[in-house]
Amino acid sequence: MNSHSFQDKNLNALSQNEIASDAELNYLLHADLRSYGLYRK
């Protein structure tokens, strides 16, 4: 996994939503993890 692109995606998401709830942040994180196949329901 390219950790730099992973972090950049999250930073870009945060910059677009400067005020985000924990639920929104968790959703973004889990969506990224699912895209890398690291998160399983």
pLDDT at 35: 78
With 60 as the cut, is the pLDDT of residue 10 above it? yes
Q: Which residues of 29-41 are buried (b: 16+ CB within 10 A; e: fewer)?
A: eeebeeeeeeeee
pLDDT in tens, 20-32: 577 777 888 888 7
Q: For residue 31, is it within any domain? A: yes
**Residues in Cβ contact with 24 at an 8 Å cutoff, skipping those fewer than 6 apart:** 17
Q: Please state the domain count of the chain.
A: 1
With 60 as the cut, is the pLDDT of residue 17 above it? no
Contact between residue 13 and residue 28 where contact means Cβ atoms under 8 Å apart: yes
Q: Pick from 14, 19, 4, 18: which is nearest to 29 by CA?
A: 14
Domain that holds residue 13: 3-35
pLDDT at 4: 57
Q: For residue 41, is it within any domain? A: no
Over pLDDT 90: what percentage of the chain?
Answer: 0
Contact between residue 1 and residue 37 where contact means Cβ atoms under 8 Å apart: no
Considering the entire predicted model, what is its pTM? 0.32
Q: For residue 10, is it within any domain? A: yes
